[in-house]
Amino acid sequence: MIWRDIWREGYFLLRKKSVLLLLLSALGLSVFSVWTGSQEVAAQQATIARLLEADALDRADVLQQQNDYGGVAYYSFHLTYAPPSPLAFAALGARDVYPWKHRIRMLALEGQIYESDTGNPELAQAGRIDFAFVISVLAPVFIILLLHDLRASERAAGRDDLLNVTAHSRRALWPLRAGIIVALLSGVLLLPFWFGAFAHSVPCWQVATVTLVCICYMALIALLCYWVSGWLYPAPVLASMLLGIWLLTTYIIPALGNEAIEHSIDGPLGGDILMVQREAVNGAWELPYSHTMDEFVKTHPKWADYTEMSALFEWKWYFAFHQVGDQVAAPLSKRYREVGKKKYQMAGVVAWLSPATLLQRTLTRLAQTDAIAAREYEQQVRDFHEQLRHFYYPLLFTSPPFHRDVFKARPTFEPIEYTK
């Protein structure tokens, strides 16, 4: 019986032009989002490949031109990057807002790390269409359009009573009809994603998780729409109410929450970090060497016996005051990062009032394209910079003879590896 019911309602719904048209546009949007998402990921990977090549060439070049360790340290740039995860095609996330590539050198890190090589700001502001957007923002609109007049249209046409008394069981009609619509919609939205996931060799558990999360989300919206669709109002009133709820939770609550969070937390301004760091670094030229070296030794006691200057300018002193510059700016910088982290955490609380935001955060977390991933990458850059200092300080302070072979041991940046 149940299969005949499903077959009947499925055939019935697909004969409706409006349903078919909506399903086809949903499919089109999903295909477009997956396709352009894949293009974007491919472009990011190609960029990384080109950068890696140019970066290696450039560093080799510097190494040939320089004749002391300090010179190599000063002139060498190191590429760091966070490659897109396999799932990134579906949730491009904040990768157009946060940098995912940096070239850093041995100088004070605080002066370098906030530089952001991101894309076109006008396009970033307009936003992109990716699979996560299609599911979290547009899928509810599709569900509302498909389900709001489930009952109201039958009532307006005078069929409601006839259908109710004809159906051999209650379940065989309204819940089944709504269920089939939502199932069809989920199918056309998820199908392109599954193809994309296969092409990008996304791990099975991630595909399953995304599928499950998306289906739960759509089921939640569908239940709400189903419930409201039973109310005795004309279809446009029902749709207005549902769209109102959607607009409120998807657009207005997050925007209000954002303002509230921005106003509730005070932290250092980015500009302050830069100024403090710069004053510390540049002021050192006029200060006695001992001043810089004392500060330096506080964090690097290992080199306490090597701080004597044999000339007016030595690289070890130069890099020491860069280190000190970072140390002076560190509390501000730490606070700045903590504030950023805190804001994102608070946003997580607000997200519980906005299912779309919650879904977006879930998907970008899975795809590692969110602010958390961006901060992890920033930490990776900081760690790598620290490694560079560990590599160079012995060479600068103990001044062994210059051998280019030494640089074979120079740390290289290891990008994040994604589980397969």
Partner 1 sequence: MMFRIWLIAKDEWRYWRRSHLAMTVLMIAVVLAIASVVVTFSTVSLAAHQRAHLQSQAEQKFVEQPDRHPHRMVHYGHYLFRTPPPLGRLDPGVDAYTGTAIFLEGHRQNGATFSGQQHSAGLNWLSALSPAFVMQILTPLLLIVMGFGVMTREREAGTFDFLKIQGVSPLMLTIGKGVALAGAGFAVLIPVAVGALITLFYGSSILSVSAFVFSYALYVGFWCALVLLVSTLSRSHVGSFSALIIVWVVTCLVLPRIATNTAVVTVHSPSKLETDFAVLQKLREMGDGHNANDPAFKALKDNLLAKYNVDSVDELPVNFKGIVAQKSEADLTDVLNDFAEQKMEEGVAQAKVARQFGWLSPAIAIQTASMKLAGTDLENYQRFLREAEAVRFAFVQSLNKLHAEGLSYADDVNKYQSHETLQKAKVSANNWQVLSDFHFVPLPAAERFAGSIQALLQLFVLWLVVSIGVVLAGRRQ
Partner 2 sequence: MTDPVISADALHVSVGNKTILKNVSFTARRGEVLALLGGNGAGKSTTIKTFLGLMTPSAGTANLLGQNVQLQPDIVRQKVAYLPESVMLYGHLNAVENIRYFLSLAGKEKTDDDIALALKKVALQPHAWQTRLQSYSKGMRQKTAIALALLRDAPILFLDEPTSGLDPVAIDEFNGLISQLASQGATILMVTHDIYGACHVANRIGLLRHGELVGMFDAPQDGNIDAEVVHQAFTQGLK
DSSP 84: P
- Of the candidate residues 3, 158, 301, 310, the single one contacting partner 2 (CB under 8 A): 158
Q: What is the spatial distance between Cα 186 and Cα 180, in angstroms, rounded to a whole number?
A: 10
Which stretch, 50-58, 168-176, 345-353, 361-369, contacts partner 2 (CB under 8 A)? Answer: 168-176
- Of the candidate residues 117, 125, 126, 166, the single one contacting partner 2 (CB under 8 A): 166
4 C-beta neighbours (distance < 10 Å), count: 9
Q: Is 172 in the site for partner 1 (CB under 8 A)?
A: no
- Of the candidate residues 159, 171, 334, 403, the single one contacting partner 2 (CB under 8 A): 159
Q: What is the spatial distance between Cα 371 and Cα 379, in angstroms, rounded to a whole number?
A: 12
Q: Are 274 and 110 contacting, i.e. CB atoms less than 8 angstroms apart?
A: yes
**Could you tell which of partner 1, partner 2, none binds residue 199, using a CB distance below 5 to 8 A set by kind?**
none
H/E segment holding residue 104: strand 101-104
Alpha carbon of residue 110 to chain centroid: 23
Site string for partner 1, 336-355 (x = CB under 8 A): x--xx--xx-xx--xx----
Q: Is 400 in the site for partner 1 (CB under 8 A)?
A: no
Q: Is 94 in the site for partner 1 (CB under 8 A)?
A: yes
Q: Is 20 in the site for partner 2 (CB under 8 A)?
A: no
Binding residues for partner 1, rule CB under 8 A, total: 95
**Could you tell which of partner 2, partner 1, none binds residue 4, using a CB distance below 5 to 8 A set by kind?**
partner 2
The DSSP annotation for 195-231 comes to HHHHHTT--HHHHHHHHHHHHHHHHHHHHHHHHHHTS
Assigned token pair, 3: 């299969």
**Residue 301 backbone phi and psi in degrees, to 5:** -60, -20
Q: Is 256 in the site for partner 1 (CB under 8 A)?
A: yes
Shorter beta-carbon distance to partner 1: residue 2 or 126? 126
Q: Are 397 and 305 contacting, i.e. CB atoms less than 8 angstroms apart?
A: no
Q: Are 26 and 142 contacting, i.e. CB atoms less than 8 angstroms apart?
A: yes
**Could you tell which of partner 2, partner 1, none binds residue 166, using a CB distance below 5 to 8 A set by kind?**
partner 2
Q: Is 232 in the site for partner 2 (CB under 8 A)?
A: no
- Of the candidate residues 1, 4, 17, 120, the single one contacting partner 1 (CB under 8 A): 120
Q: What is the spatial distance between Cα 38 and Cα 3, in angstroms, rounded to a whole number?
A: 38
Shorter beta-carbon distance to partner 2: residue 15 or 420? 15
Alpha carbon of residue 331 to chain centroid: 26
Site string for partner 2, 118-157 (x = CB under 8 A): ---------------------------------------x
Which stretch, 179-187, 221-229, 296-304, 309-317, contacts partner 1 (CB under 8 A)? Answer: 309-317
Within residues 169-198, the interface with partner 2 by CB under 8 A covers 169, 172-173
Q: Is 39 in the site for partner 1 (CB under 8 A)?
A: yes
- Of the candidate residues 163, 274, 330, 353, the single one contacting partner 2 (CB under 8 A): 163
Which stretch, 11-19, 113-121, 255-263, 410-418, contacts partner 2 (CB under 8 A)? Answer: 11-19
Shorter beta-carbon distance to partner 1: residue 39 or 299? 39
Q: What is the spatial distance between Cα 131 and Cα 361, in angstroms, rounded to a whole number?
A: 13
Three-state secondary structure call for residue 403: coil
Smallest gap from residue 169 Cβ to partner 2 (A): 7
Smallest gap from residue 171 Cβ to partner 1 (A): 27
- Helices 355-366/204-229 angle, 10° precision: 170
Alpha carbon of residue 34 to chain centroid: 17
Task: Find all residues with CB under 8 Å of 331, minimum gap 6, and list them.
Answer: none
Smallest gap from residue 251 Cβ to partner 1 (A): 5
Q: Is 232 in the site for partner 1 (CB under 8 A)?
A: no
298 C-beta neighbours (distance < 10 Å), count: 11
Q: Would the CA dihedral through 189, 191, 197, 199 be positive or negative?
A: negative
DSSP 86: G
Q: Is 287 in the site for partner 1 (CB under 8 A)?
A: no
Which stretch, 48-56, 193-201, 290-298, 325-333, contacts partner 1 (CB under 8 A)? Answer: 48-56
Assigned token pair, 183: 């199932």
Shorter beta-carbon distance to partner 2: residue 154 or 378? 154
- What residue ranges bind partner 2 (CB under 8 A)? 1, 4-5, 8, 12, 15-17, 157-159, 161-169, 172-173
